Amino acid sequence: MRFHDVSICSVAHVDAPCRVTSAQLEHRLAPTMKRLRLPLGLLEGLSGIRARRMWPKGTKPSDAAALAAGRAIEAAGIDPQRIGILINSSVCRDFVEPSTACMVHGKLKLAPHCLNFDVGNACLGFLSGMEIIGAMIERRQIDYGIVVDGEDSRFIVDQTIARLSAPTTDQATFWANFATLTLGSAGVAMVLTRRELAPRGHRFLGGVTVAASEHRQLCSGHVDRMETDSATLLTEGLQLARRTWDEAHRELGWTHGSLDEYVIHQVSKTHTDKFGAVFEIDPRKIFTTYPEYGNVGPAGVPLVLSKAAEAGRLEPGERIGLMGIGSGLNCAMAEVVW
């Protein structure tokens, strides 16, 4: 899908305030790791994640999403009543129903005519929300739209540690749940509009997606746990990414070295390094967040983009690739001209 009239007004993030180190999580798992003869330092050593963030107990995903949305709306300098759609993409939800988008809509006091709903596409949900809003803007159906995401890893990590602390936990169970311990928390939001309404905006050119749903059972997430075949997921995900790159080459004109910045959904050091190696990406073109923030799911791509912009890495006119692989498997790649 390619857009000609869509711009990003603003992108914003909110860091969860509670920093939790990998060493702290391992301390809670020390009896199990000792029994299974697993060395301390394993979590940080294998993932490259020193720490992740968590929200205070009682914080809901809609709270985090609304905080980020408020920042994005303020940065865009627009009247919130002109927003025609709000899409929430978080894996974490306040309730099964109503939608988390509805909760955010109410907290922001958006207009009654503003559509609001959740989009679920694992770690690609935010990119999917961008495409839906982009298509509506391209058709001039709305003036402004906002994608939001609030993730909180506290509950699922606590439940996983409790489960792994059982005396019956074996090596297979430990490794199947290992990826859950890499999860982090964040709030992110992005306001999109037509180019004429944002003369200083950043063009969203659209993107491509490719599915490999034969691998849909490699990662299954639940409210209290996530079970993952990490090795196979990485191998098959990179194969899918190669096919998606070919689509981006045809649709967006991507070639090796043609992009100025690669904004990647980051799972771990291994995932990020191997992804970069496959596409021969200069590591200096990848702004890494995983060492301090872990894997924040669908908040990952916008979090990297927002933090890279905040750090002054992005210059006007630069081509920015947004790239991610989500369980299912699905892969998405999109382009923003900053």
Q: Are 226 and 164 spatial neighbours (Cβ–Cβ below 8 Å)?
A: no
CA 256 to centroid of chain Cα atoms: 24
Looking at residue 299, what DSSP letter applies? G
Distance CA 12, CA 223 (A): 26
Distance CA 246, CA 238 (A): 13
Where are the alpha helices (H) located in the chain, listed in sequence order?
22-28, 30-35, 42-47, 61-76, 100-108, 125-138, 154-164, 171-177, 230-252, 269-278, 290-293, 300-310
List the one residue out of 193, 139, 149 whose CA is nearest residue 1: 139
**DSSP conformation letters of 191-210:** EEEEGGG-TT-EEEEEEEEE
Of these residues, 97, 196, 214, 315, which one is catalytic?
97
Q: Are 333 and 323 spatial neighbours (Cβ–Cβ below 8 Å)?
A: yes
The two tokens of residue 117 are 């709903």
- Annotation says 92 is catalytic: no
281 — phi, psi (to 5°)?
Answer: -85, 130
Q: Are strands 144-151 and 83-88 parallel, antiparallel or unpaired?
A: parallel
Residue with tokens 């090596």: 171
Q: Are 162 and 131 spatial neighbours (Cβ–Cβ below 8 Å)?
A: no
Of these residues, 9, 123, 219, 331, which one is catalytic?
123
- Annotation says 9 is catalytic: no
Active site residues: 97, 123
